[in-house]
């Protein structure tokens, strides 16, 4: 069973190599990419089933026993993250295949797109199964470097400008992460997460707090937690629609995943939980206030992304199994729904020619399908019952209410308020871009909604108005996955609760890597 574990990293890496070799054969390249990501999905599902039924897996790479060698760990949380990320990666890949086919691949240097995308997948998977901090750092670097390439794809002025912000911020966070790994190694003499966990009690509390804060800052930048979230709305919207979709869905969640690991395994104590709660509060409120002010759909969605990271941090900050369970469910929900919304924004851009709601109108009449594909995930994210957004928020609020206290109740209130404002921002897009007619658009400049054949224009523009079926189908499939999160909320929340219980004690994780000797200091 252990042999399955490294496959989630190896398959996309070999896929990337294959895709790079096949650079001159776009069709084969696409095939390789789709097969590789389907492979991760299959392995991820197999891992989830195995781990959920017969316990977590730990694989010692190269046969070097932990803590000396590199260890890969798959517990329920890792496996669930692997499955969800594989679904999202595959869906976005199909979406971009559809877009690429329609555009004739002229806009993007497609020969590097698929290999880079697969390496991104490898980085994400590696981060989820990393059993030591340095391997987590390497996983982060793999996904970041490929994300640098993807965000500046095509090298237009806008993308370079936005990419530079993103890259410099990511570099700083990587350096902070590396420095904190160095300090943890200096303090504890190990980088193995399980080993760190059982030795952490040996060092004084003040040193612990410094290490804890350093790690949280590094992960906080990656997860876009206030006040470290400023870079996200500036850099995400300019990238191509599929790239933004996968970044929004996955990259910040890798940061949140790392925060969960840091809070539950490395520093299981409650010292910084109040700080995290305050941070969660500000992330939620400031993010959504930004979203309300935006006139561009992609920017608005980027701000809601920041805002909803706050909910996950709230779940983690509670420090109870219920809170972690709710945060896990919310992460799954948010990965799926936020990606779907960005894909829908890509469709809107394709139909309307822009994502500015001041210039859009009458989309409902032009393309009812796109309208439906935007509306359902919008309600879902806004937390309308019975969708998964509502269930996730309800679970979070319940967990917070059980803990009680002034901060928890403030967060519940803020959470409800933020959910309402999210709904307002999303529905504003609905009523402006979809519901109003063209005549109501002030200063309406582009006549984008009349049939294209009447317009003199190039063949490229004619093509661009028609939505490729593959893009529609993929977005519809993602909407269906979002609805499935509601329909199968019972089993999914069952897994989340088991994850919450697993993470309640750090010794559970230590037991995976060092069976039978948790809680006792080792001597070497």
Partner 1 sequence: MSASLILIVVMAVLYASGIYLMLERSMTRVLVGFLLVGNATNLLILIVAGAQGAAPLVDGETTAGEMSDPLPQALVLTAIVITFAVTAFLLALIYRSWRLSTEGEDDMEDDVDDIAMREGEGGVTAEQLEEIDSDTEFEVPDDFETPQGELSADDLKSGTRGEEKR
d(CA 127, CA 413): 34
Q: Is 182 in the site for partner 1 (CB under 8 A)?
A: yes
Q: Which of residues 373-402 bind partner 1 (CB under 8 A)?
A: none
H/E stretch holding 287: helix 273-293
Q: What SS3 class is residue 74?
A: strand
Q: Is 522 in the site for partner 1 (CB under 8 A)?
A: no
Candidates 79, 91, 149, 499: give the one binding partner 1 (CB under 8 A): 149
Q: Is 354 in the site for partner 1 (CB under 8 A)?
A: yes
Q: Is 39 in the site for partner 1 (CB under 8 A)?
A: no
Q: What SS3 class is residue 367?
A: coil
Candidates 34, 101, 178, 217: give the one binding partner 1 (CB under 8 A): 178
Q: Which residue has the tokens 């200096």?
A: 186
Q: Is 96 in the site for partner 1 (CB under 8 A)?
A: no
Q: Is 211 in the site for partner 1 (CB under 8 A)?
A: no
Count, residues near partner 1 per rule CB under 8 A: 63
Q: Is 296 in the site for partner 1 (CB under 8 A)?
A: yes
Q: Is 234 in the site for partner 1 (CB under 8 A)?
A: yes
Q: At residue 205, what are phi and psi to the nearest 5 degrees?
A: -60, -35
d(CA 373, CA 356): 18
Torsion, Cα 276 278 284 288, to 10 degrees, reads -140
Q: Which residue has the tokens 């509060």?
A: 281
Here the tokens at position 313 are 């941090």
Closest separation between CB of residue 283 and partner 1, Å? Answer: 20
Q: Is 519 in the site for partner 1 (CB under 8 A)?
A: no
User: Residues 338-370, buried b or exposed e (16+ Cβ, 10 A)?
Assistant: bbbbbbbbbbbbbbbbbbbbebbbbbbebbeeb
Q: Is 487 in the site for partner 1 (CB under 8 A)?
A: no
The answer to whether the Cα torsion of 256, 502, 77, 57 is positive or negative is: positive
Candidates 1, 21, 55, 161: give the one binding partner 1 (CB under 8 A): 161
Q: Is 356 in the site for partner 1 (CB under 8 A)?
A: yes
Q: Is 456 in the site for partner 1 (CB under 8 A)?
A: yes
Q: Is 141 in the site for partner 1 (CB under 8 A)?
A: yes
Closest separation between CB of residue 430 and partner 1, Å? Answer: 17
Q: Is 132 in the site for partner 1 (CB under 8 A)?
A: no
Q: Is 20 in the site for partner 1 (CB under 8 A)?
A: no
Q: Where are the alpha helices (DSSP H) in 224-272?
A: 231-235, 241-246, 252-261
Q: Is 210 in the site for partner 1 (CB under 8 A)?
A: no
Q: What SS3 class is residue 67?
A: coil
Q: Which is nearer to partner 1, 162 or 499 (CB)?
A: 162
Closest separation between CB of residue 144 and partner 1, Å? Answer: 8
Q: Is 320 in the site for partner 1 (CB under 8 A)?
A: no
Q: Which residues, other chains included, contact 117 with Cβ-Cβ below 8 Å and sequence gap of 6+? A: 33, 89, 93, 96, 146, 150, 246
> Is 341:301 a contact under the CB 8 Å cutoff?
yes
Q: Which is nearer to partner 1, 336 or 433 (CB)?
A: 433
> Is 355:345 a contact under the CB 8 Å cutoff?
yes
Q: Is 523 in the site for partner 1 (CB under 8 A)?
A: no
d(CA 157, CA 114): 22
Q: Which of residues 97-126 bind partner 1 (CB under 8 A)?
A: 99, 103, 107
Q: What SS3 class is residue 285?
A: helix
Q: Which is nearer to partner 1, 175 or 420 (CB)?
A: 175
Binding string to partner 1 for residues 264 to 293, with x set by CB under 8 A, is what?
Answer: -----------------------------x
Provide the β-strand partners of residue 74: 57
Residue length of the chain: 524
Q: Which stretch binds partner 1 (CB under 8 A): 138-146, 200-208, 275-283, 375-383?
A: 138-146
For partner 1, the binding residues (CB under 8 A) are: 99, 103, 107, 134, 138, 141, 145, 148-149, 152, 155-158, 160-165, 167-168, 171-172, 175, 178-179, 181-183, 185-186, 191, 234, 237-238, 240-241, 293-296, 299, 349-350, 353-356, 358-359, 443-447, 455-458, 460-461, 464
């Amino acid at each position: 069973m252990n042999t399955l574990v490294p496959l989630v990293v190896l398959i996309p890496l070999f896929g990337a190599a294959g895709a790079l070799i096949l650079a001159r054969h776009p069709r084969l390249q696409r095939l390789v990419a789709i097969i590789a990501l389907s492979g991760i999905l299959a392995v991820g599902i197999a891992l989830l089933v195995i781990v959920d039924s017969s316990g977590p897996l730990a694989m010692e790479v190269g046969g070097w026993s932990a803590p000396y060698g590199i260890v890969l760990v798959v517990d329920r949380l890792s496996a669930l993250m692997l499955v969800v990320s594989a679904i999202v990666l595959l869906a976005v890949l199909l979406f971009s295949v559809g877009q690429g086919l329609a555009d004739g691949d002229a806009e993007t240097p497609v020969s590097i797109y698929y290999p880079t995308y697969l390496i991104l997948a490898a980085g994400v998977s590696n981060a989820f199964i990393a059993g030591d901090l340095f391997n987590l750092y390497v996983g982060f670097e793999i996904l970041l470097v490929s994300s640098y390439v993807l965000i500046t794809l095509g090298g237009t002025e806008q993308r370079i400008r936005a990419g530079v912000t993103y890259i410099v911020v990511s570099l700083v966070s990587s350096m902070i992460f590396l420095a904190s790994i160095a300090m943890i190694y200096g303090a504890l003499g190990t980088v193995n997460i399980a080993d760190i966990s059982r030795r952490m009690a040996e060092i004084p509390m003040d040193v612990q707090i410094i290490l804890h804060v350093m790690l949280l800052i590094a992960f906080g930048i990656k997860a876009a937690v206030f006040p470290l979230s400023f870079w996200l709305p500036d850099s995400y919207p300019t990238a191509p629609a599929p790239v933004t979709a996968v970044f929004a869905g996955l990259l910040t969640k890798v940061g949140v995943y790392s925060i969960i690991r840091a809070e539950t395994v490395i520093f299981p104590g409650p010292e910084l939980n109040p700080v995290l709660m305050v941070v969660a509060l500000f992330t939620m409120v400031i993010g959504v206030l930004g979203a309300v002010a935006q006139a561009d759909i992609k920017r608005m969605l980027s701000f809601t992304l920041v805002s909803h990271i706050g909910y996950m941090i709230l779940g983690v900050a509670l420090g109870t199994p219920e809170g972690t369970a709710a945060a896990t469910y919310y992460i799954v929900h948010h990965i799926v729904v936020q990606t779907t919304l960005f894909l829908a924004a890509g469709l809107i851009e394709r139909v309307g020619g822009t994502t500015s709601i001041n210039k859009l109108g009458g989309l409902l009449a032009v393309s009812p399908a796109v309208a439906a594909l935007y509306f359902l995930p919008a309600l879902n994210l806004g937390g309308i019952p019975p969708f998964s957004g509502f269930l996730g928020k309800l679970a979070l609020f319940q967990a917070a209410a059980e803990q009680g206290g002034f901060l928890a109740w403030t967060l519940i209130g803020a959470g409800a308020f933020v959910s309402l404002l999210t709904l307002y921002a999303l529905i504003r897009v609905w009523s402006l871009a979809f519901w109003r007619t063209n005549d109501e658009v002030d200063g309406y400049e582009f006549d984008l909604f009349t049939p294209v054949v009447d317009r003199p224009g190039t063949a490229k523009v004619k093509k661009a108005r028609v939505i490729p079926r593959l893009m529609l189908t993929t977005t519809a499939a993602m909407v269906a996955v979002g609805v499935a999160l509601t329909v199968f909320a019972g089993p999914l929340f069952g897994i989340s609760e088991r994850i919450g219980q697993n993470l309640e004690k750090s010794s559970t994780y230590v037991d995976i890597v060092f069976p039978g000797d948790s809680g006792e200091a080792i001597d070497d």
